[in-house]
Amino acid sequence: MKSWDRRALEGLPLRLLIMSLLISLTVPVVMGSVESYDRSTARSAMVSEAERFVGVVEEVMSSGEGNRRIVSVFLPQDVDRFHYAIEIGGAMGTTSSLTVRCTCDGMPFTTLAPESPPARMVLLGGTMLRLEGGEHTLAVECVHMQERMVAVVEVVE
């Protein structure tokens, strides 16, 4: 400090100005990093749950007709914040019935399919099942439908 500025009439406001400038430049970077971390964590948790669900479908299908499993799928609430969802199956004659899709704003970024054995996943209503944030309890059953074995997925209340 200058000798004539003993009461900080000039130095303190200048220091405060520099500090506020530094804070205003670093806060958006830090917040962007935190949001990016939250986004990647939610995304990896969602893909992990989708892979676990596909494993249950493979297990049900390899066990044969009449086999039924109850599975809980937990998706963190950040999934809703970033517009993520899991879409399961589709109408009987479509290729979407063969896949489980992890989506962001309706666009798939990960597509998983039961491989051993390949399985069609259908809902009794004939549409796909969309899971968003929260805990979902699903029943998966291997049934004979339209001359083929399919995995019927339904939400258990």
In this predicted model, what pLDDT tens digit does every residue of 91-146 receive, in sequence order?
A: 888 888 899 999 999 899 999 999 888 888 998 877 889 999 899 999 999 998 88
**Per-domain residue ranges of the chain:** 11-155
Residue pair 42/78 in contact by the 8 Å Cβ criterion = yes
In this predicted model, what pLDDT tens digit does every residue of 3-31 receive, in sequence order?
A: 555 665 667 777 888 888 888 888 887 77
For 69-76, what is the mean pLDDT? Answer: 93
Round to whole Å and give the CA distance between 59 and 64: 9
In this predicted model, what pLDDT tens digit does every residue of 34-72 receive, in sequence order?
A: 788 888 888 999 999 999 999 999 999 999 899 999 999
Beta strands of the chain (E only): which ranges? 68-75, 84-88, 100-104, 107-112, 120-122, 129-131, 134-145, 148-155
The pLDDT assigned to 46 comes to 93
pTM attached to this predicted model: 0.79
The pLDDT assigned to 93 comes to 81
The pLDDT assigned to 56 comes to 94
Residue pair 150/122 in contact by the 8 Å Cβ criterion = yes
Round to whole Å and give the CA distance between 41 and 145: 38
DSSP 7: T
